């Protein structure tokens, strides 16, 4: 549910909304999805919790995206025919096979981008993220890095990747400052593999830097002082100096937006 909702939306609002949907429908979400689908109008009470990108809202009313995604989740539950998705995914030997299984379903493919599928598989299969449907059979090194615009931005600004792919270069538009993270993913994965056998944790770290400290535009970049330093509970444990440790490597001319 969270993976379906977390598409061009604020992640905290997606998580909060998913919890409220469960509170509204209870276990019927998983055991009686058809009943929930019939009563999907009840979602009106939750529509203000779900914060989606204004750009997406221009294509279809924001509540419309909400209904479509929850409806898609319920229909997928019906397609599973009471099988547990976790049991299905646990049968695969690698997280890549599990991702291919999900992407092979036309309904899931129509709602979840490849990045979101990789992210979801890491949520439910990475041994350090709380849920492990593989019961330890999936090695950390076998996961594929999701890579979104924030991660691509960090790798670009610090010069870790030699080529930055943006829409103008791709040929699909003239926006030089809109990074095409999906096209950069293989290169970023290769660079990451040279330094770590756990690309998911590298992705998480780069994302946190990108969304919390490294503004999409030059205004507001907080390299010289961490905005979370006054309330940070781990800075003393990691020897944090209170500013971005990547600032000496950062190329300021790259002002990519998240994509």
CA angle 72, 135, 31 (to 5 degrees): 35
- 36-70 pLDDT, tens digit per residue, is 999 999 999 998 888 887 777 677 788 888 899 99
Q: Is the pLDDT of residue 173 over 70?
A: no
Dihedral (Cα; 179, 180, 186, 192), 10-degree rounding: 30
Query: What integer pLDDT is reported at residue 34 of this predicted model?
Result: 93
Kind plus residue range of the DSSP H or E element containing 68: helix 62-80
Of 220, 209, 84, nearest in space to 148 by CA: 209
Q: What is the pLDDT of residue 255?
A: 54
Threshold 0.85, pTM exceeds: no
Helical axes 181-193 vs 199-212, angle rounded to 10° = 130
**What's the pLDDT at 57?**
67
List the beta strands (DSSP E) in 43-159.
none
Is the pLDDT at 22 greater than 90, yes or no? yes
DSSP, collapsed to helix, strand or coil, labels residue 159 as coil
Instruction: State the pLDDT at residue 259.
Output: 47
**Mind listing the pLDDT tens digit for each residue in 192-251?**
999 999 999 999 989 888 887 787 766 667 788 887 788 888 888 878 888 887 777 777
Burial classification of residue 132, based on how many CB atoms lie within 10 Å of its CB (0-12 exposed, 13-18 middle, 19 or more buried): middle
Average pLDDT over residues 179-189: 87
Q: What is the pLDDT of residues 65-85, one digit of tens each?
A: 889 999 999 999 999 887 888
DSSP 8-state assignment for residue 178:
B
């Amino acid at each position: 549910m969270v993976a379906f909702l977390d598409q061009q939306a604020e992640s905290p609002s997606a998580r909060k909304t998913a919890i409220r949907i469960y509170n509204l429908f209870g276990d019927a979400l998983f055991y009686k999805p058809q009943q929930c689908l019939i009563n999907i109008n009840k979602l009106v009470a939750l529509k203000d919790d779900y914060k989606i990108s204004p750009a997406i809202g221009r294509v279809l009313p924001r509540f419309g995206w909400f209904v479509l995604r929850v409806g898609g989740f319920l229909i997928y539950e019906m397609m599973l025919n009471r099988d547990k998705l976790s049991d299905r995914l646990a049968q695969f030997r690698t997280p890549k096979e599990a991702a291919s299984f999900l992407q092979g379903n036309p309904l899931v493919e129509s709602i979840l981008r490849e990045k979101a599928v990789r992210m979801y598989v890491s949520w439910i299969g990475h041994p350090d993220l709380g849920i492990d449907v593989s019961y330890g059979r999936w090695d950390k090194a076998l996961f594929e890095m999701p890579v979104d615009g924030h991660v691509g931005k960090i790798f670009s600004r610090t010069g870790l990747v030699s080529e930055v792919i943006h829409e103008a270069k791709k040929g699909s538009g003239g926006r030089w400052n809109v990074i095409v993270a999906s096209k950069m993913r293989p290169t970023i994965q290769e660079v990451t593999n040279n330094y770590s056998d756990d690309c998911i944790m590298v992705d998480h770290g780069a994302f946190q830097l990108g969304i919390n400290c490294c503004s999409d535009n030059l205004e507001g970049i907080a390299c010289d002082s961490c905005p979370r330093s006054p309330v940070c509970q781990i800075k003393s444990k990691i020897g944090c100096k209170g500013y971005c440790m990547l600032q000496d490597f950062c190329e300021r001319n790259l002002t990519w937006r998240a994509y």
